Structure 1
Amino acid sequence: MKMTSERIALDKIYKRRDRYEIPDWQREEVWNKAKKQKLIDSVLRGWKLPKFYFLLTNDSPKEYDVLDGQQRLSAIWEFFDGELKLTAESAAEFGAASYEGLPDDVSDAFDDYEINFDVIEDAEEEDQKEFFQRLQEGLPLTSSEKLNSIHSKLRDYCSKLAKHKFFLETTSVSGKRYAYFDICAKVMVLEIEGLDCGTRFDDIREVFLQQAGFSGNSAVAKQVRKSLDLLHKELPNPDKHLRNRTIVQAIITFCCHLQRVGLKSQQNKILAKFIDHFLAELSKQVELGQAATDHDYVAFQRTVNANVKSGPKTRNDILLRKLFKYDPSFYSEVPQSNSLSKSLDEQISRLAESVRQLIYEVNNIYSGHHGKDLFKPTNKTIKALTSELSKPTKGMDDYKAFIENLYFIFRESIGTRLEGNLPPSFVNVNDLRTLNEHDVDHGKQNKAAKKKKELAAVFEQFSGEKSPSAVDPTKFVIIQANILSALELDMRKLAKADFDG
């Protein structure tokens, strides 16, 4: 066993947080809020933290199991994410309760604060146990090791499933300490009990005992195996993005969900491309750290780093929303549950609020250069921004009103102030309004036909259909979410633009 001492700045480890796996036995204990606040206060004061211990599990890129220090890392990541606030006393001393609100010199010092850690390499199981006997009175049994001793046919099936080629050939997860069994156990429990079921040791143990007579020929068993077959066939072997146990569980569960609602065989390759796209974008957004531009990916990664009961459902909802954005045609294939509808409504509300805040931010920047707002406030734009933007569209009339409000905000209110430099989504809004107004029927027939085709292509990128009249009324809400997502992204870019020209 080899050990080397290293140091790393907090902002750097935060941007690489997807490379640090939390072993399941580390997830059982959860610090309370006061303990987390005390840790952040110590860091802000520059006080030295106890050493962290990481086990190297992959060399390119370097990935680790967190053997000691998980709760400290979780608190640090929560503070970066805005999930953890300082006490009133600490906030008064350091200038704000949240990371985002800290004065630049304080947040810079927090970013640059370095933790000391030892990296353990080439460690055999016995070496690890001996090390932990000296560090903290013995290496705890993983939940998977404890579950593996339970007499249950569900346990037997999970053991059998863990030998599937998908784990060894497709994922980049190490199979040590029953890691594949752990993934299978969680997938099976979620499929049997539903996404609201907990996945801690006690939760899984109870289901194992209840399912002592589980049949490997049951519908659930066949469905999970079918999903593993699909993923092994369609995804790259190996897939460099499938290196985290929780993410692997999420992808299998997601695939099971789509199989259950009738995924067609001709959609398998599209699904595989989406999964690859999603995981690549997730990695990119995590690397951006505080500069991340997509709330959904940040929220997804947050559930990976923290073992909360709502995690599986949150991850599945995010995957569904991203699939609908990637290929809107899938929306018609998936039955719309109350929870999914609520999730979409919440996403629209969040996107609308984000766009509102970004307009305010961009106006402040633009007026500092030009002495006037970029988005000119009018009665129409004020009404659209204050209430209409976040109202979920439930049919054609709502959709037309939504596009009209966007036109007031992103075309009419800015006039010619961005002439020649309009963001793509602003141009799209104008095109979508033109399509709604059928304002292309005049002029030469061949030019009108060409214009109609171009407008149909714009609508299709948000909806998967060529015309609003061909859309199922229930689908307009996902179209609304897709348009708002595009506007939010362009607004974030605009907030960083140089308005001196």
Structure 2
Amino acid sequence: MTPNKRAIDKVYKRRDRYEIPDWQRVEVWDTAKKQKLIDTILRGWKLPKFYLLKTGRDEYEVVDGQQRINAIIDFFGNELALSEESTTKFGGPLYKDLDPNISDAFDDYEIEFDEIEDASDSEIKEFFQRLQEGLPLTSSEKLNSVHSKLRDYVRELSKHNFFKNKVYVADTRYAHFDIVSKVATLEIEDISTGLRYDDLRAVFEANSHFSSASSAGKRLKSGLDMMDVIFQEKSPLLKNRTIVQSFSTLIIRLAATGKAKGHEGTIKAFFGEFMRGLAEQMELGQKATDADFIGFQKTISANVRSGAGTRQAILFRKLFEYSPVFATFFDASVIKESGISSQVAELGENMSDYISRLNAVYSAKHGDDLFKATNKTTQAQLNVRKPVDDLNSYTGFIDELYFLFRESIGQRLVDNIPRAFSDVNVLRTDLQHDIDHGDAGKVRAKRKKTSEVFKKYSSQTSPHALAPEMFPVVQVGLMRAINFDLEQLLKNAP
């Protein structure tokens, strides 16, 4: 073991690198206990040592200190308030309310931990047992003793080539068995099923005569087969148990549609982009802005019952935004289940914030606003926050965007029009039937252009042929593209 120290703000920013394993003994601290821990840190008093098992480069499994780390994360995230006594002493109930000197000291507080390396399964188990008196076996070790044909099938799948040669998670203490147990439980029951030991055991016992030839058995095998194709080699994307479970559950749903074959490269690219975005947001700490990534990571750290469902909805949303063609694989219920429409209001609020900030920067230099400030501009910003669900509401949505990002800016960005702004113009031209005039060759070129732009956001070539459930996918994709361009304008502003 190697002794080490780390400032807790770095632990928070890199919380996606600390895996919280599922123990049979899952004590959950009450609020008072969490408050006392935070008070201890704020006073600068020493905490008991943490024990971390090194699983990769700067990757750890928390052997001892799970509840303490969760309390620290909750306080950093402004989800845990101080006690009345601590609030009086430190000037505010939440992290964001603390005096800068106090919050800086909190950020810099160092926890001491011993880093465990190169330990065998038996050595780790012995250490666990000595560290905490009477500590039972892990849930996966317990599950492995259940007499059930589902248990037998899960053990078989845990030796699948995907796990043997593609997954970075070391198969210590039945780690691969643990992952497949959860994937199988979600597939046999439903996405809202709990994944603690008691939940998993109940499913194993209820399926003591499970058949690998059942529909669930076939879906599990097909999903892992597809994961094996998606990942051609061992991937660092697959170094966290919950990530592997979440990706596998998503792919099982995709494989079951019978339409995903041939899209493996796109899916692999999506997974890479998703993990890059997640890591980037976690690194931002308090400055993180993507609610989906924040929520996704929270379910990993907190291990809540609804976690798997939350993660799947987020993955569906991000996948549909990344490549709308995947939304066409499913019926309307799955698109609704993804909650993609719920993103519209948040994206609209972010859009208004960017516009306000850009106006402030632009007017400071030029003396007037970049986006003309009128009642119509204000109303347009409110209107784009309404979800669209048919051609009529989509047409109104595009009209509002056209006013905001074409008419209200006039010629002020004529030499540097962002791509998403141009896309809005093309989409509106199509709706206004302004492409059918002039030279036949130019008309064909315009039609091709409008088809390409619309396909980018919908996977279809025309809004007139789009299924109603796909309009929210188009709306969210276009709003996110606009917000990205607004952010770039703000970053590049002098």
When the two structures are superposed, what TM-score results if normalisation uses the length of structure 2? 0.91
Quick one: which of 180, 185, 191 aligns to 2:187? Answer: 191
Query: What is the aligned-residue identity percentage?
Result: 49
Q: Residue 151 and residue 357 in structure 1: after superposition, are their counterparts in 2 closer, same or farther (change >3 A)?
A: same
How do residues 104-183 of structure 1 correspond to structure 2 at under 5 angstroms?
A: 104-183=100-179
Q: Residue 9 and residue 309 in structure 1: after superposition, are their counterparts in 2 closer, same or farther (change >3 A)?
A: same
How do residues 199-348 of structure 1 correspond to structure 2 at under 5 angstroms?
A: 199-337=195-333, 340-341=336-337, 343-348=339-344
Residue equivalent to 2:444:
449
SS in 2 for 1:47: coil
In 2, the alpha carbon distance for the partners of 1:414 and 1:90 equals 50
Q: Deviations over 1:34-76 (max 9, x none)?
A: 3334433443443333221111122xx2311101111222222
In 1, the alpha carbon distance for the partners of 2:80 and 2:435 equals 53
Amino acid at match of 1:29: E
SS in 2 for 1:384: helix
* 1:207 Cα offset (Å): 1.1
* 1:325 Cα offset (Å): 1.5
User: Is the contact made by 1:57 and 1:64 (CA closer than 8 Å) also made in structure 2?
Assistant: yes
Residue equivalent to 2:353:
357
Q: Deviations over 1:251-278 (max 9, x none)?
A: 1111111222333423344333333433
Q: Deviations over 1:339-380 (max 9, x none)?
A: 835712212222223323343444455555556544333222
Q: Deviations over 1:86-125 (max 9, x none)?
A: 4566556555554456555444433333222111112223
* 1:324 Cα offset (Å): 1.2
User: Is the contact made by 2:192 and 2:305 (CA closer than 8 Å) also made in structure 1?
Assistant: yes
Is 2:462 the partner of 1:467? yes
In 1, the alpha carbon distance for the partners of 2:437 and 2:94 equals 56
Residue equivalent to 1:412:
407
In 1, the alpha carbon distance for the partners of 2:439 and 2:99 equals 60
Is 2:493 the partner of 1:484? no
In 2, the alpha carbon distance for the partners of 1:63 and 1:463 equals 38
Q: Deviations over 1:156-209 (max 9, x none)?
A: 211121111111101001101011111111111111110011111111111111
* 1:219 Cα offset (Å): 1.1
SS in 1 for 2:107: helix
In 2, the alpha carbon distance for the partners of 1:63 and 1:10 equals 15
In 1, the alpha carbon distance for the partners of 2:360 and 2:35 equals 33
Q: Residue 367 and residue 155 in structure 1: after superposition, are their counterparts in 2 closer, same or farther (change >3 A)?
A: same
Quick one: which of 26, 29, 41 aligns to 1:28? Answer: 26
How do residues 42-61 of structure 1 correspond to structure 2 at under 5 angstroms?
A: 42-58=40-56, 61=57
When the two structures are superposed, what TM-score results if normalisation uses the length of structure 1? 0.90
Residue equivalent to 1:8:
6
With 242-251 and 428-437 compared, the bigger mean Cα shift is at 428-437
In 2, the alpha carbon distance for the partners of 1:416 and 1:89 equals 58
Residue equivalent to 2:428:
433
* 1:497 Cα offset (Å): 4.3
Quick one: which of 78, 100, 106 aligns to 2:74? Answer: 78
Quick one: which of 14, 18, 41 aligns to 2:16? Answer: 18
User: Is the contact made by 1:94 and 1:102 (CA closer than 8 Å) also made in structure 2?
Assistant: yes
In 2, the alpha carbon distance for the partners of 1:136 and 1:408 equals 64
* 1:235 Cα offset (Å): 0.9
Residue equivalent to 1:40:
38
Is 2:392 the partner of 1:397? yes
User: Is the contact made by 1:393 and 1:399 (CA closer than 8 Å) also made in structure 2?
Assistant: yes
User: Is the contact made by 1:328 and 1:464 (CA closer than 8 Å) also made in structure 2?
Assistant: yes
- Structure 1: gaps of 5 or more residues: none
User: Is the contact made by 1:128 and 1:139 (CA closer than 8 Å) also made in structure 2?
Assistant: no
Amino acid at match of 1:427: S
In 2, the alpha carbon distance for the partners of 1:488 and 1:42 equals 41
In 2, the alpha carbon distance for the partners of 1:403 and 1:92 equals 51
Q: Residue 79 and residue 494 in structure 1: after superposition, are their counterparts in 2 closer, same or farther (change >3 A)?
A: farther
* 1:485 Cα offset (Å): 1.6
Alignment length, in residue pairs? Answer: 494
In 2, the alpha carbon distance for the partners of 1:104 and 1:418 equals 39
In 1, the alpha carbon distance for the partners of 2:372 and 2:102 equals 36
In 2, the alpha carbon distance for the partners of 1:357 and 1:85 equals 28
User: Is the contact made by 2:335 and 2:469 (CA closer than 8 Å) also made in structure 1?
Assistant: no
- Structure 2: gaps of 5 or more residues: none
User: Is the contact made by 2:163 and 2:176 (CA closer than 8 Å) also made in structure 1?
Assistant: yes
Q: Residue 126 and residue 234 in structure 1: after superposition, are their counterparts in 2 closer, same or farther (change >3 A)?
A: closer
SS in 1 for 2:263: helix
Q: Residue 408 and residue 45 in structure 1: after superposition, are their counterparts in 2 closer, same or farther (change >3 A)?
A: farther
CA-based RMSD:
2.7
Q: Residue 49 and residue 277 in structure 1: after superposition, are their counterparts in 2 closer, same or farther (change >3 A)?
A: same
In 2, the alpha carbon distance for the partners of 1:97 and 1:485 equals 34
SS in 1 for 2:116: strand
Amino acid at match of 1:437: Q
SS in 2 for 1:24: coil
SS in 2 for 1:217: coil
* 1:481 Cα offset (Å): 1.0
